[in-house]
Amino acid sequence: MPAQDISDNKAFLTEKVIKNYSGIFDKASLSRIASIRRDTVDRPVIYIGTGTCGIISGAKATLEKVRKFIAENKIEASIIEVGCNGFCSAEPLLDIQLPGKTRLSFHNVTEDKAEDVLNSALHHTVQSDLVLGQYRQAGLEEWPNVGLIDNLQWFSLQTRHILKNAGIISPASIEEYIVRGGYKSLYKTVLNYPADKICEIIEQSELKGRAGGGFLTGRKWKIALDTAGDQKYMICNADESDPGAFMDRAVIESDPHRVIEGLAIASYAIGASQAIIYVRSDYENPLKVLEYAIKQAREYGLLGEDIFGSGFSLSINIRRGAGAFVCGEETALITSLEGQRGLPRPKPPFPAEKGLWGQPTVINNVETLANIPGILENGPGWFKSTGTQSSKGTKLFSVAGKAASTGFIEVPMGISFSSIIYDIAGGVRDGNALKAVQLGGPSGVCIPPAELDTPLDFEALSAIGAKLGLGGLVILDEKTCMVNLAKYFIDFLQKESCGKCIPCREGTRKMLDILNGITKRPKEESAHETLERFKGVVQLENLAHVISDTSLCGLGQNAPNPVLSSLKWFREEFEEHIFDRRCRAGVCHDLRTFYIDVDPCTGCNICQKKCPENAIIGSVKLPHFIIESKCTGCGICFDVCKFSAIYFK
Partner 1 sequence: MEAIFEKYSLKKPENLIPLLQEIQEANGYLTDEIVEKVSVHLNIPTNRIYGVATFYDQFRFKRRGMFHIRVCRGTSCYLCSSSSYLKEIEKLLKVQDGSVSRDKKFSLETVNCMGGCSQSPVIRINDTYYHHLSVSDMGEIIRTLRAKSE
The contact set with partner 1 (CB under 8 A) reads 52-53, 55-57, 88-89, 91, 240-246, 249, 280-283, 286, 319-320, 322-325, 336-342, 398-402, 406-408, 438, 441-442, 472, 474, 476, 480, 485, 488-489, 492, 496, 498
End-to-end Cα separation, the chain, in angstroms? 64
Number of H helices, E strands in the chain: 26, 18
Burial of 321 (0-12, 13-18, 19+ CB in 10 A): buried
Instruction: Give the number of C-alpha atoms closer than 13 A to the C-alpha of residue 73, restricted to the C-beta side.
Output: 13
**What is d(CA 180, CA 18) in angstroms, rounded to the nearest whole number?**
10
- The rounded Cα 272 to chain-centroid distance in angstroms is 28
Least distance in Å: CB of 351 to partner 1?
16
Give every CB contact of residue 24 below 8 A, 6+ residues apart in sequence. none
Least distance in Å: CB of 343 to partner 1?
9
Least distance in Å: CB of 575 to partner 1?
23
Cβ nearer to partner 1, comparing 286 with 556? 286
- In order of 385, 409, 459, 462, the CA distances from 390 in angstroms are 12, 21, 6, 11
The count of other CB atoms within 10 Å of the CB of residue 124 is 11
Cβ nearer to partner 1, comparing 17 with 403? 403
Least distance in Å: CB of 499 to partner 1?
9
**What is d(CA 637, CA 529) in angstroms, rounded to the nearest whole number?**
29
The three state secondary structure string of 570-620 is CHHHHHHHHHHCCCCCCCCHHHCCEEECCCCCCCCCHHHHHCCCCCEECCC
Cβ nearer to partner 1, comparing 336 with 494? 336
Least distance in Å: CB of 485 to partner 1?
8
Least distance in Å: CB of 95 to partner 1?
19
Cβ nearer to partner 1, comparing 232 with 392? 232
Least distance in Å: CB of 558 to partner 1?
15
Least distance in Å: CB of 455 to partner 1?
23
Least distance in Å: CB of 361 to partner 1?
13
Cβ nearer to partner 1, comparing 54 with 373? 54
Cβ nearer to partner 1, comparing 36 with 337? 337
Residue 98 — φ and ψ, nearest 5°? -95, 155
Q: Write the DSSP symbol of residue 535.
A: H
Least distance in Å: CB of 327 to partner 1?
8
The count of other CB atoms within 10 Å of the CB of residue 548 is 19
Cβ nearer to partner 1, comparing 97 with 480? 480
Cβ nearer to partner 1, comparing 487 with 624? 487
Identify the three-state secondary structure at position 318: strand
Contact criterion met (CB below 8 Å) for 454 and 420: no
Contact criterion met (CB below 8 Å) for 396 and 408: yes
Cβ nearer to partner 1, comparing 312 with 325? 325
Q: Write the DSSP symbol of residue 523.
A: G
The pairing of strands 361-365 and 232-238 is: parallel
Least distance in Å: CB of 61 to partner 1?
10
Least distance in Å: CB of 340 to partner 1?
7
Least distance in Å: CB of 341 to partner 1?
4
Give every CB contact of residue 191 below 8 A, 6+ residues apart in sequence. 308, 310
Q: Which is it for the CA torsion 293, 295, 298, 299, positive or negative?
A: negative
Host H or E run for residue 313: none
Host H or E run for residue 546: helix 527-550
Question: What residue type is 101 in one-letter code?
Answer: K
Contact criterion met (CB below 8 Å) for 205 and 392: yes
Contact criterion met (CB below 8 Å) for 475 and 466: no
Contact criterion met (CB below 8 Å) for 641 and 609: no
